[in-house]
Amino acid sequence: MRTIRNTNAAMPGRHLTAQRRLLLDLIHSARGHIDAKELYRRASSQDASISLATVYRNLRLFQDLGLVDETRLGRTSHQYEPKRSAEHQHFVCTYCGRVIEFQTPLVDNVIERFQQEQGVKVTKTEFYLEGVCRQCGQRKEEG
């Protein structure tokens, strides 16, 4: 069980409330992605009085502080995960919802070139693939 220490280095000038500690803990231990609803469900089981508004407010805050990354996967689902140093990308299986993360330097090349050619500054990248995972592909062939 990962614990967030009691000092407030990550949120200068902010209150490190029990709710925030709980939410950060859950996001970290989710190992992968978690959406607001599921985060609320899990938080509720440990603190029955926590509200969905608090979940949303803090997800927004964590993003602003750079503690958490938001990713839009699939049609409308927003997923959250701890911030990482390396950019990484996502593949989502449209049959079972499985998420595969991957990372490739080619993406950095594309960005570098695009910035130079267009004179723009890229601050965020999202490379999203959708398709059929190995397992579901096999199941389809067999079935």
Q: How far is CA 54 from CA 15, 29, 36, 61, in A?
A: 13, 19, 10, 10
Site string for DNA, 62-101 (x = CB under 7 A): --------------x-x-----------------------
The whole-angstrom separation of Cα 56 and Cα 20 is 11
CB of 93 to a copy of itself, least distance (A): 7
Q: Is 65 in the site for a copy of itself (CB under 8 A)?
A: no
The whole-angstrom separation of Cα 69 and Cα 38 is 16
Residues near a copy of itself (CB under 8 A): 72, 91, 93-94, 100, 102, 104, 106-107, 109-111, 113-114, 118-134, 137
